[in-house]
Structure 1
């Protein structure tokens, strides 16, 4: 099947937006909207979906949009199109975060395998197995972040991992004491948004004690985790940038999605940890005490193996196309 002619681009771009909207986002807020103009896709952040208490600067919101941008690019090229991306053409939000110009590619053919990875990717918070992630594989995943000017740093030192666990616990404790943070989280976990095509639903959350040694910010879910007594093992990647502005955050999201899709293609599971990056105290400690670098940490990724026999997660709900496309 060849790439669609220009006259058929509109429906194809709608398909690209649908696939891009399957990207991971903080608390499944899906804080983006798109505009289609001829052969151009514009990506915008949706401040109405920003977590104003936990994410007052909009960092996690823009990271989430970066993930959608990467998946849009992968979707477009996998559908047989050629892409050109202009990032932050009009500066920081509220202008567009990026523009993707697409062209029919000569002899372009769909890549069904890559499209399937996008559609089957999930955030599986169930406990990982004890199988270690080989260092060579982890390093290869980390290199997927390089094209975005982002570092993905493996944390394989025992003392570094111990420090990270302490920082996650510290951030969890600090946010748990803040009633505003708790109320904001609860508003996006079933609760007030029950039945809405967004948020984190209890049917994709395991019992919190089955998520491993790190504390969970989410309540006990209804997702059965029959292997919760197994000793889990995971790898940790820190995504870090040299800057700490909207451009850096967007690149972080692109890098995260690239690593995640690469991991999913290899059969690995990824769980992002944003909590210690949301608290200034723990974020600074991660930068200086763990990374010992001027690079700014933006996100932690847990990577591991799920049991082969484990059931496939249902997909978290997504907003309909007519809601994320605006004139």
Structure 2
């Protein structure tokens, strides 16, 4: 097994995942890495269909791809290569050697810097339009879409998040999963709506396992790009965990597509 592949698997441990479950495992097969979903780390009540588990694995896949590109190799990826083994999500090998570009290295250096930032964003510091354009391009490069919610639509997002939060607080099985993996209930949603925060929806054309995997790769790409742009970011997965909340978010997207995750971003305050 080539050292670059092993290093890529190690770098993938830094990928974001639902409640930090890291629901994946890597296997070495010949001269390739295989990415498997780990159903034992799926959240059966929050994520009954495995959408967020697969999305989390997609983020790990993107991290591994980025690590290989930064090491000077073209990553060769087969997504969902074996229909008889649905937990096998991707196989990665090494393609041709090629020097890593400046933007690739800049993004790769953000792997250990990326973190969830739930602090309020100052209302006077708005995310520049050019930065939002760059974030959209990062999603499009992963065959996904990124919507920036209009100011008037944030109230509907708040309503969806509050409904999902209330359901989680009153569902004993969901509360137990949150306690097990997060150690506490989730914080109250959208406390700083109306501040300098922007709300981004990662969306796909369809809504199956292939789309969930792509959405995870896009989430990783957008979040790392946001980190490179010195933005703070945090996910709002609860608005896609509850069907009613997800339907409300879907109604805000024009043209309509399938919402997979919401990211809250803003100009990060100094540490």
Q: Same fold (TM over 0.5)?
A: yes
- C-alpha distance in 2, partners of 1:109/1:291? 34
Instruction: Report the counterpart of residue 175 of structure 1 in structure 2.
Output: 168
Partner SS for 2:112: helix
**Alignment equivalent of 1:27, drawn from 10, 14, 19:** 19
**Alignment equivalent of 1:71, drawn from 63, 69, 73:** 63
1:300 aligns with 2:262: yes
Partner SS for 1:102: strand
List per-residue Cα deviations over 1:262-282 (Å, max 9, x = no partner): 111111111111101100111
Instruction: Report the counterpart of residue 55 of structure 1 in structure 2.
Output: 47
Instruction: Report the counterpart of residue 321 of structure 1 in structure 2.
Output: none
Aligned residue runs from structure 1 range 199-218, under 5 A:
208=187, 212-213=191-192
Across the aligned residues of Structure 1 and Structure 2, the Cα RMSD in angstroms comes to 2.4
The Cα shift of 1:109 comes to 9.1
**Alignment equivalent of 1:287, drawn from 245, 250, 267:** 250
Instruction: Report the counterpart of residue 144 of structure 1 in structure 2.
Output: 138
> Which of 47-56 and 113-122 deviates more?
113-122
Q: Structure 1 stretches of 5 or more lacking a match?
A: 1-8, 192-199, 215-230, 311-327
**Alignment equivalent of 2:148, drawn from 126, 145, 154:** 154
The Cα shift of 1:132 comes to 0.8
- C-alpha distance in 1, partners of 2:163/2:87? 36
The Cα shift of 1:37 comes to 2.4
Q: Which runs of 4+ in 1 moved over 4 A?
A: 106-112, 208-211
Check whether the contact 2:57–2:216 (CA below 8 A) recurs between aligned residues.
yes
The Cα shift of 1:149 comes to 2.2
Q: How many residues align?
A: 269
**Alignment equivalent of 1:258, drawn from 202, 215, 221:** 221
CA distance 1:306–1:107, change in 2 (3 Å): closer
- C-alpha distance in 1, partners of 2:106/2:31? 25
Check whether the contact 2:38–2:87 (CA below 8 A) recurs between aligned residues.
no
CA distance 1:134–1:183, change in 2 (3 Å): same
Check whether the contact 1:45–1:93 (CA below 8 A) recurs between aligned residues.
no
Check whether the contact 1:41–1:99 (CA below 8 A) recurs between aligned residues.
yes
- C-alpha distance in 1, partners of 2:84/2:165? 30
Greater Cα radius of gyration, structure 1 or 2: 1
Aligned residue runs from structure 1 range 108-257, under 5 A:
113-130=106-123, 131-155=125-149, 157-190=150-183, 208=187, 212-213=191-192, 232-257=195-220
CA distance 1:107–1:136, change in 2 (3 Å): closer
CA distance 1:112–1:286, change in 2 (3 Å): closer
List per-residue Cα deviations over 1:40-99 (Å, max 9, x = no partner): 111110000000000000000000000000010000110112211111112386341011
CA distance 1:109–1:177, change in 2 (3 Å): closer
- C-alpha distance in 1, partners of 2:105/2:138? 21
- C-alpha distance in 1, partners of 2:262/2:67? 25
Q: Structure 2 stretches of 5 or more lacking a match?
A: none
Instruction: Report the counterpart of residue 276 of structure 1 in structure 2.
Output: 239
- C-alpha distance in 2, partners of 1:307/1:94? 42
Partner SS for 1:173: helix
CA distance 1:261–1:101, change in 2 (3 Å): same
- C-alpha distance in 1, partners of 2:212/2:27? 21
